[in-house]
Amino acid sequence: MKYLVLAGVMAIAVGCGAGPVDKPVAAPKPSPPPAKPAAAPSRPPVATPDTVAADAFANPAEAVTALVLAVSESNSEDYARAQSWLLLQKATAIPAVADLVRDEQAPMFARTNGCKMLPQLGPEAAEVLLELSQADTPRVRQVAIEELGNVRPATPQAIDSLIELTQAADNEIRLAAVLGLEHIDPPATKAAETMVAILNNTSEPEPLRSAAKQCLTKVNPRKTFND
């Protein structure tokens, strides 16, 4: 009997005591902060017209050759040097740069950047850009059309051509023409009605309508699609 009582006491003690002790749970480790993107490598020094010797190249054709080579070698310093020297030559560099843009074997970057150089070489570039606005290479054509608006002073022929190109079948060409008209200074006010027509047409692509709206603020700030 004594043993039975003792067993009962022990059973009660076990039943009333604390249950099995759980192992301590480790606190969750904080998530590491998101990794910062690696900084872009610094570019080599970029030459400017002030640092390019006047006799750095024998002629514009030689500078264009150096420019194309720099593109193929991803040498931004040599590219900037050749480009800066060409810009110093103004109108005398137009034929060589135009030949670069026409060259279908040249790197596309060099060709499109050549288009962007042309307006900086003088008003004589307008004729070349008008020609290039009909180029067979779509990307070259687009850039040439937009850059036509950067020639100073703008010619009536350039403005009329850009307005006409806003009606092209290719929407990328139309967008380039609208952007070109926006660049023209003094503003191409005669383009206002065309911009309103594009903006009012809800079937037009949204990027084209947005560009027309922005252009309208330049060519005629007082005119809106409600006029």
pLDDT above 50 for 45: no
Percent of the chain whose predicted confidence (pLDDT) is above 70: 76
Give dist(CA 53, CA 13) in Å, integer: 100
Look at residue 120 and give its three-state secondary structure. helix
pLDDT tens digits along 125-151: 999 999 999 999 999 999 999 999 999
pLDDT above 60 for 220: yes
Distance between alpha carbon 74 and the CA centroid of its chain, in Å? 19
Average pLDDT estimate for 31-46:
42
| pLDDT band per the 50, 70, 90 thresholds, residue 32 | low
E strand or H helix at 5: helix 2-16
pLDDT above 90 for 26: no
Structure letter (DSSP) for residue 118: G
pLDDT above 70 for 161: yes
Average pLDDT estimate for 29-44:
44
* DSSP assignment string, 54-81: TTSSSSHHHHHHHHHHHHHTT-HHHHHH
Give first-to-last CA distance, the chain, whole Å. Answer: 111
Give dist(CA 194, CA 114) in Å, integer: 29
| pLDDT band per the 50, 70, 90 thresholds, residue 223 | low
Q: Give the per-residue pLDDT at 8.
A: 46
Q: Give the per-residue pLDDT at 5.
A: 43
Angstrom distances, CA of residue 42 to CA of 73, 82, 97, 113, 172: 17, 20, 28, 21, 33
All domains of the chain in start order, with CATH? 122-227 (1.25.10.10)
Give dist(CA 9, CA 24) in Å, integer: 31
Residue 119 makes CB contacts below 8 A (sequence gap 6+) with 125, 129, 147, 148, 150, 151, 152
| pLDDT band per the 50, 70, 90 thresholds, residue 213 | very high
Q: Give the per-residue pLDDT at 42.
A: 36
Structure letter (DSSP) for residue 222: T
Look at residue 134 and give its three-state secondary structure. coil
- Averaged pLDDT score across all residues of the chain: 84
